[in-house]
Structures are given as structure tokens and as C-alpha cells.
Amino acid sequence: MSAGTDGARPDADAAGRRERKEDHVRLATAQWKGGTRTTEFDDLEFVHHALGGVSLPEVDLGVELFDRTVAAPFYINGMTGGTESTGRINQQLAIAARETGTAMGCGSVSIALEDESAADAFRVIRRENPDGLVMANIGVGRSVEDARRAVDLVGADALQVHVNAVQETVMPEGSPDFSSWLRGIEQIVAALEVPVLVKEVGFGLSARTLADLASIGVAWADVSGRGGTDFLAIENDRRPGRDYSYLTGFGQSAPAALLDARAHQGELGGMTLLASGGVRDPLDVVKALALGARAVGVAGSFLKAVVEGGPEGLVELIGSWQRHTRELAALLGARTAADLESTDLLVRGRLREFCTLRGID
Ligand code: FNR
């Protein structure tokens, strides 16, 4: 993730950046070991229609991502790279992506733009997965030139640009220098030859943010909401002296962000939405699709699987998610991912309260 290295402020030395990458993986993995957690996905409930299903062989959940079709409507979201151990994780994620036909992102490539010795931890992805859909990643605030270099270095089909204002605020090396962000994204979108996807890192994109992005030509956004990997907690744990734990719960969940976006669709200029943040299982995937996401990004759940079980463990998990998402679609009467938007989905609890307060029916 960015922090200073991506933002305008020159920051910590190379050793500090490497340490941060490894801290993020270690602390994120520890968070996902905590067993089942409650999220706002739990506030969504499908109405079961006992005669409403379709036959499993009729279901095809392949979706178009950028200019390509991927077999399943979920992907490995951007996470890591830049050190030997995080390079190994990228290698294992790339093997699992190749074996399962899953699209994947990587962590911020910025570290490798400043230090060539960090580059192989990203190049390994293309080496392992020459034909798959791969996204490079960079923090907002970097130049057009850096964005191009990141795409070239990874050999990527698309670029994720992450916006992480909350993290920059709480991170010791952060760079809370936000006023030029929108203009910076506009320049990258205008200049790059590959599609650009703007994403949060676990605090959600509001409808207003999405409308701002649409107004500068952004066609793809991942709302990446709260409820999963928690970078407030991670940054707190990295520097115990700087306690921002009172901010816990700041931001919007992915379901809230999707509902917000749907209510303001007219202002989003046909933007395609992806969703991530706290996706625990195939039911969460299907719920996000039902709320209008084209595809669903998964970071923490897949990181835990690959750290604990290597590429084989992740291949098995992704395979089971592919089967289960199709089974759930059949149960819900959806032949395609888009059909899921016609299911009856109830909104309860805190998510319902969010809708009421935002004036969403
Ligand atoms: C991330 N994430 C992330 N995102 C990004 O755009 N650039 C980055 O460099 C990173 N780095 C990173 C490291 C680690 C270890 C994790 C787990 C995650 C954020 C990620 O893509 C996603 O937006 C959030 O993690 C929310 O999804 P989950 O983890 O709840 O599925």
C-alpha cells in the first residue's frame, strides 16, 4: 500500500518500506484468523422462492472485466509485493490464479519504481501466469509516468489506483495531502492505454466519490468497504504509540456503498462497479453481485488461504467458491451474474438504517 512512497511526501528509507509490506501481510493474516466475523453482508437476506431455481448446467457466471471474459465473478484483489517473502506470496497467488482462471491484482508497485531489487516480487506474477488477467497497482498521487511504469513492470492488463485517505491519516509514514488526488487520477485515466480502476482499501467509496470519479472519466471503481481487512487496526498495531482505535468502524461497508451507488446511478455515467471488503464466502459474493457489482474482489480470505495452504490450498478454496457461487445462482434462479440483480434481497439492521439516513428506498 502506498503511504508516503505513493503520496507526494518522500518518506522512509527502503528498509522501512519493506518492513511495512511485511507488517501488512503478517497483521492482515492474523486478523483473518479470528474465525467468522459479523459484517453488513449479514444484513442482506435473500427471499427463498422454493420453485424459483434454475438447473445448474444452465448457469454461467462468466463476466466481462475490462476487455476480457473471466470464468468466475470474483478475483484476487491487490495486496502485496516488494520483498522476498511478499514476492513468494505473489508467486503463489499467481499460480492459483492461473490454475483457476481467476483475475488478480498485486500490491502497490511503487516500491519497485524506486528500488529495482523489489521488482522481481511483481514480475513473478506474469512469469507464473502469462495469459491471465492481471492488474498492476499504484497509489493515488503518483505521476502518469509512474503509472505507466507500474503497468509495464507487471505486464498488466489494467491498473488499480488506490485511494486510501483514512490509512494515510493514521499511518505513521502517511501523507495526508489529499487536495490534488482527483486531478492526479484524471491525468492518469486520460493518459494510460490500459483501463484504470480506482479502488478504496477497506473504507468504502460513497456515491459522491463515485460521481466525482465519473466526472473525470473513470469507468471502473471497486468500492472496497469496511468489514474485512482493517487497516486502522493494522496501522495501530504497527505503531502502538499512535492510537487511532477510536476511529474503528469509520467508512462504509461494501453493501452500503453499492446501495448508495445504486440510488445515485444517474450521476455515475455508466461506471462499472466492483465490490470488495469483508467478502468471506460465496454467499457474500452472490449478495454483492445482486447489489449490482460486476465482480467481487477478495483479499484477506484468499491471503489467509495461501499463507496457510500454499497455492494448492488457494486453488482448492477458489475451486469450491466457483462451484458454490454457481450453485447459489441456480438456487436463486439466476442463469448469469447479471440475473442476480433481479433476486429479492431484503435489507435489515444497520444497513437498513444507513439506507434510511441516506434517503435510499
Ligand atoms: C491490501 N490492500 C491493498 N490495496 C491496494 O490497492 N494496494 C495495496 O498495496 C494493498 N495492500 C494490501 C495488503 C494486504 C496484506 C491486504 C490484506 C490488503 C487492500 C485490499 O485490496 C482490499 O481493498 C482490502 O483488503 C479489503 O478487502 P478484504 O481484505 O476485506 O477482502
Residue 129 in grid coordinates: 501466469
Which residues lie with the beta carbon below 6 Å from any ligand 1 atom? 1, 24-25, 28, 77-80, 107-108, 137, 160, 162, 199, 201-202, 224, 228-229, 276-279, 298-301, 303
Section 330-339 average pLDDT? 98
- Report the 10 Å Cβ neighbour count for 141: 25
Hey, whose CA ends up nearest to atom 1 of ligand 1?
79
Would you say residue 5 has pLDDT above 50? no
| CA–CA distance, 99 with 93 (Å, rounded to integer) | 10
Residue 132 in grid coordinates: 491471465
Would you say residue 7 has pLDDT above 60? no
User: Tell me: the pLDDT tens digits for 193-214?
Assistant: 999 999 999 999 999 999 999 9
| CA–CA distance, 103 with 77 (Å, rounded to integer) | 8
Section 32-58 average pLDDT? 93
Burial pattern 160-181, b for ≥16 Cβ within 10 A else e, equals bbbbbbbbbbbbebbbeeeeeb
Q: Is the dihedral of CA 260, 227, 216, 75 positive or negative?
A: negative
Residue located via cell numbers 492482515: 28
User: Does ipTM come in above 0.90?
Assistant: yes
Hey, whose CA ends up nearest to atom 27 of ligand 1?
277
Confidence of residue 1 (pLDDT cuts 50, 70, 90): low
| CA–CA distance, 121 with 137 (Å, rounded to integer) | 13
159 DSSP β-pair partners: 136, 196
pTM: 0.96
- Closest ligand 1 atom number to CA of residue 108: 9
- Closest ligand 1 atom number to CA of residue 200: 23
DSSP letters along 43-72, please? GEEEPP-TT----GGG----EEETTEEESS
Section 99-123 average pLDDT? 97
| CA–CA distance, 266 with 269 (Å, rounded to integer) | 7
Average pLDDT over the chain reads 94
Torsion of CA 8, 13, 18, 24, to 10 degrees: -50
User: Tell me: the pLDDT tens digits for 182-196?
Assistant: 999 999 999 999 999
| CA–CA distance, 14 with 97 (Å, rounded to integer) | 29
Hey, whose CA ends up nearest to atom 13 of ligand 1?
79
Section 222-244 average pLDDT? 91
Strand, helix or coil for residue 160? strand
Of 140, 201, 226, 237, best ligand 1 pocket probe by most atoms within 8 Å of the beta carbon: 201
